[in-house]
Amino acid sequence: MPLKALQKALDYTFNDPELLKIALTHRSADTLHNERLEFLGDALLGAVIAEALYLQFPSGDEGQLTRLRSSLVKRETLAALARELDLGSYIKLGEGEMKSGGWRRASILENTLEAIIGAVYLDSDYDQCRRFVQKVFADYLENVSLEAIQKDPKSRLQEYLQARKLPVPVYEVLSTKGKSHQRIFTVSCSCHELSSSVQAQGSSRRKAEQAAAQQVLDLLQKGTK
Q: Looking at the domain assignment, is residue 175 inside a domain?
A: yes
Note whether 89 and 3 are within 8 A (CB).
Answer: no
> Which domain CATH number covers 167?
3.30.160.20
Report the pLDDT value the prediction gives residue 138, as an integer from 0 to 100: 94
Asked whether residue 148 is assigned to any structural domain, the reply reads no
pLDDT recorded at residue 225? 44
> Are residue 129 and residue 180 in the same domain, yes or no?
no
139 & 188 share domain: no
Residues 12 and 58 in one domain: yes
Residue 47 counted as domain residue: yes
Domain that holds residue 203: 153-223
Listed residue (123, 133, 114) closest to 34, CA to CA = 114
Q: Are residues 90 and 41 in the same domain?
A: yes
The per-residue DSSP string of 130-165 comes to: HHHHHHHTHHHHHH--TTT----HHHHHHHHHHHTT
Count CA atoms closer than 13 A to 155's CA, side-chain side. Answer: 6
**42 and 93 both lie in a single domain:** yes
Q: Are residues 187 and 136 in the same domain?
A: no
How many helices, marked H, and strands, marked E, lie in the chain? 11, 3
User: Could you give the CA distance from residue 191 to residue 166 in angstroms, rounded to a whole number?
Assistant: 9
Q: Is residue 114 part of a domain?
A: yes
* Residue 193 resides in a domain: yes
Of 112, 143, 174, which one is at a domain's C-terminal end?
Answer: 143
- At residue 120, what is the residue type? V
pLDDT at 115: 98
Distance, CA of 207 to CA of 158 (rounded, Å): 16
158 with 201, same domain? Answer: yes
Give the global pTM.
0.70
107 and 173: one domain?
no
**Residues designated catalytic:** 42, 114
**3-state SS of 194-225?**
CCCCEEEEECCHHHHHHHHHHHHHHHHHHHCC
Q: Hey, how many other C-beta atoms are within 10 angstroms of the C-beta on 26?
A: 22
β-bridge partners, 89: none
Residue-level pLDDT, tens digit, the chain, 225 residues? 578 999 999 999 999 999 999 999 998 997 899 999 999 999 999 999 999 999 999 999 888 898 899 889 999 999 999 999 999 999 999 888 888 887 888 899 999 999 999 999 999 999 999 999 999 999 999 988 887 776 788 988 888 899 888 899 999 999 999 876 678 999 999 988 888 889 999 988 989 999 999 999 888 877 654
Q: How many domains does the chain have?
A: 2
Within this chain, do residues 51 and 19 fall inside the same structural domain, yes or no? Answer: yes
